[in-house]
Amino acid sequence: MSKHEGKIAVVTGGNSGIGLATAQRLVGEGAYVFITGRRQPELDTAVKLIGKNVTAVQGDVSNLADLDRLYATVKQQKGRIDILFANAGLGEFAPLGSITEAHYDKTFNANVKGLLFTVQKALPLLVDGASVILNASIVSIKGIAAFSVYSATKAAIRSFARTWTVDLKDRKIRVNVVSPGPIETPAIDRLAQTAGGDQLKAGLISGVPMGRMGTSDEIAKAVSFLASDDASFITGIELFVDGGMAQI
């Protein structure tokens, strides 16, 4: 039997990058997956790439009405959630002294507010014993120049996991964090365009003991592990998948 045979999963931000790779892996391991994303054309492309056992629901996680529509669709079609990967988020550079209210609100609304309500609104559908995985980043513990607002949101996500592990323990719902290092994704390509292009990537790689960027599927494998019975005694952790970058 496949690792996630018959399970129902929700992956926010599943239209590209880490979210898409995770949705592909979960479907390949037997799950039915609901994916979200803000851009319908990318969602349509993702559905074609995944190929089967997938439903796409367009929406922005920072919009609570969009989350309600997502979970109404899940309830109507499948009636439960076994795996929730709260992955959607965004990041932009802004050095201290140049941070605007708009930058702060945009980043916290997507990464903190959106993630919080992604999980809270899923609670009625999450089965006892479900697995919740939150996507954070190595910047939850490392300082990167001009990245303070984004980094603070990722530290908040790590804090959520600790508290929610306790809040949900009576339902045996495990809550864990996966914290990627530099990963080849469309998001990091967009970030690089605003901050020196290939120089940004070269600088990141120079700090990785394994000497390269990671792939989205390497994060997907970690998420799949945390969601599986192989991780049945693991909850409240932050799993770094970073080529050693945050470990030295």
Instruction: Please report which helix (H) or strand (E) contains residue 234, including its range.
Output: none
- Host H or E run for residue 130: strand 126-135
Can you name the residues that pair with 132 across neighbouring β-strands? 84, 175
Q: Which of 32, 71, 104, 150 is catalytic?
A: 150
Rounded CA separation 116/121 (Å): 9
The single-letter code of the amino acid at 97 is G
Q: How far is CA 190 from the centre of its chain?
A: 18
- Taking the CA of residue 148 as centre, how many other CA atoms within 13 Å lie in the half-sphere pointing to its CB? 9
Catalytic residue flag (residue 104): no
d(CA 162, CA 93): 27
Enter the tokens of residue 61.
């996680």
Q: Is 211 exposed, middle or buried (0-12, 13-18, 19+ CB in 10 A)?
A: exposed
What are the catalytic residues?
150
